Structure 1
Amino acid sequence: MKALKELLSELTFTCERGNLEKEITAVVYDSRKIVEGCLFVCIKGANFDGHQAAAEAAEKKAAAIIVSQEVELPKQSETTLIRVEDTRYALAFVSAAWFDHPAKKLTTIGITGTKGKTTTTYLVKSILENAGRKVGLVGTIEIIIGDTHIHAVNTTPESYLLQEYFAKMVESGCDTVVMEVSSQALMLHRTQGFVFDFGIFTNLEPDHIGPNEHGSFEEYAHCKSLLFQQCRVGIANCDDVHWQLITKEHTCSLETYGMSKKADLRAQNLQFTNRQGHLGIAFDVTGLMNFHAEIAMPGRFSVYNALTAIAICRHFKVSEADICKALLAAKVKGRIEMVKVSNAFTLMIDYAHNAMALKSLLTTLKEYEHGRLVCVFGCGGNRSRERRFEMGEVSGNLADFTIITSDNPRFEEPEAIIEDIITGMKKTDGVYISIPDRKEAIAYAIDHGQPGDIIVLAGKGHEDYQEIKGVKYPMDERDLIADILKERGISF
């Protein structure tokens, strides 16, 4: 238990009813979890406003309730009523206090940007652990605490969960945490209640703009920029055209990285590598550090991801040898993840699930010497049909051969989704075939692979399920590939 006034100590508030001399048994923001003696924080969500449950919380003898608008409580209730300007902001500070401010016991690294967050967090974890630190991770794919891996629901969890994860990291012996910080998280104050030691900006492109996300690109950019008012050291990719907009109101010290001469830390002399079907890229690091590095992931964007990680880890006094070793060893599930199926051609799995990401990936791979560029993908059901047209057009323009298949059809018929993709494909001269069953589509790609081919399985990435009619069925592309190879008597 903790004293109410202790939990509120870093907040500006008005006590509209009751007193602060109470012991709190739990902090709750889900009305279904209200218990006697708890502090209930009324959060307004997309589908339900917690303020509607204020009276219920009082009836269940919650010790206190935090609100940001007028509510009516039973007259006989002894529940304390606290009024704040923003309950999400309040929840972040209350949660930090509830878990004894665990972020103060960790070195905290927050990475924001449209692309590159996930890969970079894993690169940073790999480099720092290679140098002897114990690193927790919070991101799109999972939360990693020691040997425990927890499936992620959001890129950045709600503030209470985030503080709980931090506390568990401290308990497990972690000294550092690296995490993805989404624009939604910054907008909804999920990362308030502490100050990041390092805040990083990777890049900015129009994305996450629409219902229940951001109303405009300007709002999206503004939310990203908030990280540079919540960190001590800011690190920005100065090759991105928006970097000065993002850092304009920064309150931290600031340094830059990129491939341009103006960057404090630079990558130069890029060389594409292909070692028995494993694509990568080598480059020289200059400026704040000087050494030669190589990453076992293809493309210029992989250099940016690696350079981001180097810019961060430089502050931890990691040796150049440790950085180089970790970059070569690092792998990220579902992010340009290469899977060995042949000595003659390359196969990789990637999460590219919209036109922008697919275009970036295919454009990158075309820079390598290759036979055909083969793209296997589908689109999710109950999502924008425009995405299907666009992805079909992108693959038709950039891939030498496209295999259109099923992704997560949800409540739509896979064939209907495929027809929409074909509509986009027909705007191009691209050659394609449609095979609705994803395993059969992958098998076709492998069976017809030619020397020098690069085969991309796009869209699913790290996902290990296929969602059909409201049910998530187990389906991991790595397992499908393993089954296909086993059926053909192939092993590596």
Structure 2
Amino acid sequence: MFLDKMLEKLEYTCLQGDVHISITELVYDSRKAGKGHVFVCITGAISDGHAYIQEVVEKGVVAIVVEKDVPMPKNVTVIRVENTRQALAYMSAAYFENPAERLITIGITGTKGKTTTSYMIKTFLENTGKKVGLIGTIETIIGDKVIPANNTTPESYILQKTFAQMVEAGCECVVMEASSQGLMLHRMDGFTFDYGIFTNLEPDHIGENEHKDFDDYLSCKSKLFRQCKVGLVNIDDSHAERILQGHTCEVETYGFSEKADIRATDVKLVHRPGYLGIAYRVEGLMNFDVDMNIPGKFNVYNSLCAIALCRHFEVETTKIQKALHSVRVKGRVELVPVSDQYSVMIDYAHNAMSLQSLLTTLREYNPKRLICLFGCGGNRSRSRRFEMGEISSNMADLTVVTSDNPRFEEPQDIINDIIEGVKKGPGKYVEIIDRKEAIRYCIDNAREGDVIVIAGKGHEDYQEIKGVKYHMDDRELVKDILAER
């Protein structure tokens, strides 16, 4: 591909050389640079691509794209742009021949619910016979190929490459989580989403190397609605109006509000031994009953959002009902079949906000006892440990404190911090450092009507200790414990 073809949708200045030169590969990692490549200098939190210009030129790069003043290397085309991350996104789209134009693209943004909603949408659309790709926090799915995720929203080059692979695999649609970081770092520039979805907004990802404040966080989320054709928005969220400021898309709303285009009414919690679910009626642009085997009122929003989208695909009501009755999302209030007498579930709640939301949801089902097992990650904020410990003690009848990903800290030190928080509340607690033995304790001591939640790791299938990731999956631990009994 010629360089000028890759640059055709960008504003740029050619400082040196010829833009009509043949390019063999587009790279932004200096370690992968080679003969005939174009190298885009990305300024990151840890390193700056501009510092590697001489190195990549020596490897045979024929063009570089910069956003800063740099010494001009000889015999190399130099392109100046305002933002190299944005340039990488547009160049990547062109390099892979704009694969998003051959897919129906669905982007989901919000603080909570992105993962669950994306899996619901995938399930719904697949029930209509469509082949659907997925990109998100847990994994990327391309046909039968499943790739564990490193970032919720991958770098633009990887994203466009993934789109191209989905097209090649015969996918018709892609549903993806559009993170605030991804939007801020221009990873989704270079194409327009067919559908943009907003779930909700709460303070999160604010701090060093993330968002400077809540306004910045909100502003980045809102970009999606200036980059999609149709926006589906949770009208009940207090930030919905600000999210839509300056929007360029058609807007449709969902929620509990009478103003919502698609709304939920007559919500009922469904609770029997070994089972937690929810039922409600959909009204407005669609009218039918829903019975869902995922607990929590927040999952009404997630499912309602998915229903609102599927209306645009003319998915039959019976297929939506069937899909909702069987949908499961790994590590998101995931019910694990253990007993008909009590309920066991696995959830990714790993900070104070998500743990409080989870336990509040489970309390609504009036369990005989609510048992919360969790640990905290090492080399992360200590305040999180105190907060989570206090929340669990205030909301659960029994807190089982165990190990999570200790990383380079001693597990006992982390547990001691959690217990300091636990002691501020009235709940009982036990500490069992070995996670499998902690889960065994919960199962061995379960009573009829109990709800046991194994929190913190969710979909993760590893435990990180001293820089090494060892295989460990909470689902497998439960299965092994049951087999050993």
The answer to whether the 8 A contact 1:58-1:73 is kept is no
Matches within 5 A, 1:310-325: 310-325=307-322
Q: Deviations over 1:168-223 (max 9, x none)?
A: 00000000000000000000000001000000110000110011111101100000
TM-score, with length taken from structure 1: 0.98
Residues 214-233 of structure 1: per-residue CA shift (max 9 Å, x gap):
11011000000000011000
Whole-Å Cα distance in 2 between the matches of residues 202 and 418 of structure 1?
34
Matched, 1:328 2:313: no
Matched with 1:290 is: 287
What is the deviation of 1:58? 2.1
Q: Structure 1, residues 9-28: CA drift from partner, whole Å, max 9, x if none?
A: 10000000001121100000
Q: Gapped runs of 5+ residues in structure 1?
A: none
Task: Work out which of the residue numbers 129, 133, 137 in structure 2 matches 1:132.
Answer: 129
Unaligned stretches of 5+ residues in structure 2: none
The one-letter code matched in structure 2 to 1:286 is E
Select 2:114's aligned residue among 111, 117, 135: 117
For 1:452, the equivalent position in structure 2 comes to: 449
1:71 maps onto 2:70 in alignment: yes
Match of 1:344 in 2: 341
Q: Counterpart of 1:406?
A: 403
Q: Distance in 1 between matches of 2:273 and 2:249?
A: 45
What SS is found at the alignment partner of 1:174?
Answer: coil
Aligned to 1:13: 12
Q: Which amino acid aligns with 1:368?
A: Y
SS at match of 1:421: helix
Q: Deviation per CA, 1:89-120: give whole Å up to 9, x if none.
A: 00000000000100000000000000000000
1:152 is matched with 149
Q: Deviations over 1:23-66 (max 9, x none)?
A: 10000000100001001000011111000111222222212110
Describe the SS at the equivalent of 1:380: coil
Measured after TM superposition, the shift of residue 276 of structure 1 is 4.3
Residues 344 and 450, structure 1, Cα contact 8 Å, conserved in 2: yes
Alpha-carbon distance in 2 for matches of 1:73, 1:445: 65
Q: For the Cα contact (< 8 Å) 1:13–1:82, is it kept in 2?
A: yes
Q: TM-score, normalised by structure 2?
A: 0.99
Q: 1:99-147: per-residue Cα shift (whole Å, max 9, x none)?
A: 0100000000000000000000000000000011110000000000000
Task: Provide the C-alpha distance between the structure 1 equivalents of 2:302 and 2:272, rounded to a whole number of angstroms.
Answer: 21
CA distance in 2, matches of 1:336, 1:373: 14
Give the whole-Å Cα distance in 2 for the aligned partners of 1:147 and 1:293. Answer: 29
Moved more, 271-280 or 296-305: 271-280
Please give the root-mean-square deviation of Cα atoms over the aligned residues, in Å.
0.8
Structure 2 residue 38 is the aligned partner of structure 1 residue 32? no
CA apart distance, 1:321: 0.6
CA shift digits 1:385-407 (9 cap, x unpaired): 11001000110110011100000
- Distance in 2 between the 1:467 and 1:179 partners? 27
Residues 258 and 267, structure 1, Cα contact 8 Å, conserved in 2? yes
Q: Structure 1 residue 22 and structure 2 residue 37: aligned?
A: no
Once residues 272 and 93 of structure 2 are traced to their aligned partners in structure 1, the CA distance between those partners, rounded to angstroms, is 48
Distance (whole Å) between structure 2 residues aligned to residue 415 and residue 227 of structure 1: 43
Query: Which residue of structure 2 aligns with residue 165 of structure 1?
Result: 162
Q: Secondary structure at the match of 2:312?
A: helix
- Confirm or deny that 1:473 pairs with 2:470: yes
Aligned AA (2:46):
N
> In 2, are the aligned partners of 1:140 and 1:180 still within 8 Å (CA)?
yes
Tell me, yes or no, if the aligned pair for 2:273 and 2:448 is still in contact at 8 Å.
no
Q: Which runs of 4+ in 1 moved over 6 A?
A: none
> Which of 104-113 and 332-341 deviates more?
332-341
